[in-house]
Amino acid sequence: MTEKYEIAAFSEYSNEIKNILINLTNKKSVKSKYIIENILNGKTSKALNDHVSLQYRKSNGIFFTGTQLSEKVADKIKPLLNNGISVIDPACGAGNLLLSCLNHLPKKNTLLETLEYWSNIVYGNDLFNEFINTAKLRFILHVINCYPDDKIPFINIDRYFHNLKVQNSLKIKNSNIEDACVVINPPFGYTKSNQNCNWTGGKFQIAGLFIEKIINAAYEGQNIVAILPDVLRSGSRYKKWRDFVCKNSKYLDIETCGKFDNNADVDVFILHIIKSLSPGEVSFKKNQISKNTISIHFNICVGPVVPHRDPESGPMCKYIHAKNAPANQIINEINEKKRYSGRTFKSPFLTIHRTSSPSDKQRCKVTVINVKGIIAVENHLIVLKPKDNSLETCKKFQKILSLHNTTKWLNEEIRCRHLTVSSIKNLPV
């Protein structure tokens, strides 16, 4: 199925809303609060799921923000919205985030006056005309819903919310609006870095690129609130991106929100910053760094063996990997062997499975390795070698790492589907 057809199929839903609006304004149907609220809330996301394939949505990072998450974003800037500040969403989709912001904007005396007023202070961009058209229609329905006791006047639906435009915010020179708050749930897909990106290389989260562009275009004191994949908050390779955000912020707040939804299996957080042209004393860290951490007691690294890539050469070693390192066990014998010429280890030491979800009852799946001889360790495991070379130290910390408090701390620190060396190093003990 072509890209054009995938998104064009969504226009069926947009046309459905348009017909409802036309019938309402032409007095051909009775205003139904249920029908309108359904369109303003969950029905639009369902329409996306029904008309656009999951494969296409995942490959392009297209997922509409749920009502609860959208309201959390709007609440961050509620006082400003109450005062009538302009608001822009540079990747607005069908307008879910902006809809939640509309709930807090001042209303005028009449329906038409509010339509005119909001049309001049609400801005949005998106790649797809079908989404922009749907957003405009939903916003008009929202205004109608704000005046339940009023008769619906004739509404020229092409006149309002003209500041919602079909354009790529990453490619236009400056999509910012002075004195506006920025809200955004950018695409969660990956793209390749270019020469202008100085905080990462290779493939990286396109959401990070959106935030970089927004911050660079922002004015002093401008509020930016974004829903972002947790890897930007906790991933080791995005440290330079976090440093960039901190250097350009005088206020920074994060709120971890768990899984985005059932279709986008990714944990997210809300980032709220206020732009500053001079560095501020802000940080992404929610957990305070303890003076007594795991790294004081262990040397920690990722297992060096990359299966199916490293050559089968060198001395014969005992081989430990995720499948033969069961959690909460002490391994005294390893039957599997392989030739390996890279870095190896000698017992005793601990391994922790890197694959680890916030939904797991125990984030650290820890194994004590107490086996004679040289041992090669797969890269799906994190190796913790005790500095005192003691088996008792390994046993002691196996219990500590298995505690509920450890899982709770890690769920605050990193909500990706894998653990990093830095997250383990910083664990307080």
Evaluate whether 311 touches 349 at the Cβ level (below 8 Å).
no
56 pLDDT band, cuts 50/70/90, is: confident
Q: Tokens in use for 149? A: 């006791």
Amino acid found at 350: L
pLDDT of amino acid 34: 66
Of the chain, the percentage scoring pLDDT greater than 70 comes to 94
Rg of the Cα atoms in the chain: 26
Range of lowest pLDDT (45-54, 94-103, 136-145, 196-205): 196-205
Alpha-carbon dihedral sign for residues 311, 315, 320, 323 = positive
pLDDT of amino acid 5: 63
Tell me the CATH number for domain 3-275. 3.40.50.150
Domains 3-275 and 294-425 equal at CATH topology level: no
Rank 192-196, 280-284, 318-322, 412-416 by mean pLDDT and report only the highest: 318-322
pLDDT top residue among 280 and 244: 244
Q: Report CA-CA distances (Å) from 104 to 285, 299, 408.
A: 30, 52, 35
Helices (H) and strands (E) in the chain, counts: 17, 18
Average pLDDT for 331-349 = 96
Average pLDDT for 239-264 = 91
Evaluate whether 285 touches 234 at the Cβ level (below 8 Å).
no
Alpha carbons 211 and 186: distance in angstroms, whole number: 8
4 pLDDT band, cuts 50/70/90, is: low
pLDDT of amino acid 320: 97
Could you tell me where the beta strands, DSSP code E, fall in 35-174? 86-89, 122-126, 164-166
pLDDT of amino acid 33: 66
pLDDT over 80 at 257, yes or no: yes
Nearest C-alpha neighbor of 219 from the set 254, 250, 177, 185: 177
pLDDT over 90 at 388, yes or no: yes
pLDDT top residue among 43 and 238: 238
Q: Report CA-CA distances (Å) from 300 to 38, 123, 320, 352.
A: 52, 48, 16, 10
Residue 407 CB neighbour total at 10 angstroms: 17
pTM of the model: 0.82
Map residue 380 onto helix, strand or coil: coil
On the CB side of 402, CA atoms within 13 Å amount to 16
- The 3-class SS string of 166-194 reads ECCCCCCCCCCCCCEEEEECCCCCEEECC
* pLDDT tens per residue, range 129-180: 999 999 999 999 999 999 988 888 889 999 999 999 999 998 887 666 778 9
pLDDT over 70 at 288, yes or no: no
Alpha-carbon dihedral sign for residues 145, 147, 153, 158 = negative
Average pLDDT for 195-208 = 78
* pLDDT tens per residue, range 408-427: 999 988 888 889 999 999 99
pLDDT over 50 at 306, yes or no: yes
What CATH architecture applies to the domain 294-425?
Alpha-Beta Complex (3.90)
Nearest C-alpha neighbor of 419 from the set 193, 202, 286, 230: 230
326 pLDDT band, cuts 50/70/90, is: very high
* pLDDT tens per residue, range 346-385: 999 999 999 999 989 999 999 999 999 999 999 999 999 9
- Kindly list the domain boundaries of the chain, sorted by start residue: 3-275, 294-425
Alpha carbons 359 and 159: distance in angstroms, whole number: 47
pLDDT over 50 at 1, yes or no: no
What mean pLDDT value characterizes the chain?
Answer: 90
